[in-house]
Amino acid sequence: MSRPCNDCKVRDQSLCSSLSDEELSSLNSIGHNRKLERGQTLLWAGDEAALCANLLEGVLKLSATLPDGREQIVGLLYPADFVGRPFSEQAEHTVTALTDAELCVFPRKPFEEALEEHSRMERLLLRRTLAALDEARNRMLMLGRKTAEEKVASFLLDMALHLGKPESRPGTPVTFDLPLTRAQMADVLGLTIETVSRQMTRLKRAGLIDLPSGRLVTILDRDALEERAEAA
Amino acid sequence: MSRPCNDCKVRDQSLCSSLSDEELSSLNSIGHNRKLERGQTLLWAGDEAALCANLLEGVLKLSATLPDGREQIVGLLYPADFVGRPFSEQAEHTVTALTDAELCVFPRKPFEEALEEHSRMERLLLRRTLAALDEARNRMLMLGRKTAEEKVASFLLDMALHLGKPESRPGTPVTFDLPLTRAQMADVLGLTIETVSRQMTRLKRAGLIDLPSGRLVTILDRDALEERAEAA
DNA sequence: CGTCCGTTTGAAGGCTCTCAAAATATGTGG
DNA sequence: CCACATATTTTGAGAGCCTTCAAACGGACG
């Protein structure tokens, strides 16, 4: 058995938060720790969906592709998020690490049994799946109806929520390190690299954000950014 | 109590298919039949999510809007589909009838209790929600990365699947009556009315489809349409 | 210090949108 | 059942946003 769950970084945020310590140790016996390097793929769309997991650390992307190679990132996963597709023989989307990452991995079949055995966990997964569905649908609005500037602004605000320091005072600048390249941002937003880059410099020149170096982003004027995110 | 479930059009396709006859009658006691006219809205985004339902007949749209009125249809619901958002105080998306429709409606709170009581139904809802999530994400690929022609071709194939006669011989033309206006198609595909219309006539002139009258569509060459749906 | 990868910037083109009007379908009242 | 009014769809012309193609710039790493 791998490392005891007491040390787990996401013990009380992941699906496992629904389990008692005893239940947890039985689940733990079928799971094991796994690390991914940036760029490494955990599951390929079309392949057997062999496993499920809790993400402990890092950021993953979920992506879909067309036969000619065009790619769309259809979801981003953060620590404590659930990974995988129970009850499906085949993975529908590809799961790849955007940063070095760490997971608690379960073979799918035994995990499905654990779900049926631990109804509180099943219930929590249902709630999370419903929330993920709402989120995916909201992202459809962004993809179908927002302009390039609105898309980039929305994306930056979303990243700030996930990566920014917890609750700095409103009005205070927030800084974070983007885990995505421009190409990956483009694949999230349904744009091209060049368009993303141009919109970033536009926002910078407008004084709404700063790009100090590398992939660092500082949000200087959150309110103005929010306005541009949905053309009030 | 409303009409007995034995007459139900979707008794063994809806969520209820997971219930025994006795279980069903207890659920039935909290549900009632409701009809919607074309254009009528069942739930408004932002309002209290007061109810859940099984769709018995007709087609519904799920939509999201931006403050300035731009709209995106984020999902279509067909008979036997589940409607609503359990465990959420607020509806995230607006639900509106595209055709006259009939539902079996449950107040949300009692329905949530029924879910917890009938674990097979809860499990089935989980599976359906996971499938809906996969579908929503695939639609993100369409919105973000497909051209107008590919979007329209994909849409027509999708409609044929849902509305076409069950399993006509491959190669045989399929005809169906679109439940959506051009404007609604545009809102599904993230395009404008005019672009949708132009792509439809292009496909017609190319001999892949026919538009006999009104909203009737005939798919003449399914294979060719599939090729244009994802630019092989 | 040179190479490689990612980012930025520029110029031109094309796909889709916008604006506009004609054509067709739908619906209503007489 | 027809005539009119309304809504929807089609078609056209032009503009604009984003893409494509290309090159310069910058940072990381050997």
Q: What percent of chain B has pLDDT over 70?
A: 98
| Cross-chain residue pair B132–A133, CB shorter than 8 Å | yes
Query: A214 CA, D28 C1': separation in Å?
Result: 10
Which chain B residue has its CA at the smallest distance from A151's CA?
Answer: B144
Question: pTM (2 decimals)?
Answer: 0.95
Best residue of B137, B187, B188 to probe chain A, by most A CBs closer than 10 Å: B137
pLDDT tens string A14-55: 999 999 998 998 899 999 999 999 999 999 999 999 999 999
Site of tokens 């809906």: B132
| Cross-chain residue pair A137–B86, CB shorter than 8 Å | no
Say what the alpha-carbon torsion angle A54, A56, A57, A59 is, to the nearest 10 degrees. 10
> Nucleotides on strand D with an atom closer than 7 A to protein CB?
8-13, 17-22, 27-28
What's the pLDDT score for residue A215? 93
Closest partner CB to B232 (pick from A67, A134, A137): A67
| Statement: the CB of A26 is under 7 Å from strand D | no
**CA B193 – CA B181 distance, rounded (Å):** 9
pLDDT tens string B160-207: 999 988 776 777 899 999 999 999 999 999 999 999 999 999 999 999
Q: What percent of chain A has pLDDT over 70?
A: 98
Predicted confidence (pLDDT) at residue A68 exceeds the cutoff of 70? yes
What's the pLDDT score for residue A164? 83
The closest alpha carbon to B36, from B109, B94, B85, belongs to B94
Which positions in chain A touch B140 (Cβ < 8 Å)?
64, 72, 74, 136, 139-140, 143
Rounded alpha-carbon distances, angstroms, from residue B27 to B16, B18, B21, B84, B108: 9, 12, 10, 16, 12
pLDDT tens string B214-224: 899 999 999 99
B64 touches A at CB < 8 Å: yes
Which positions in chain A touch B70 (Cβ < 8 Å)?
145
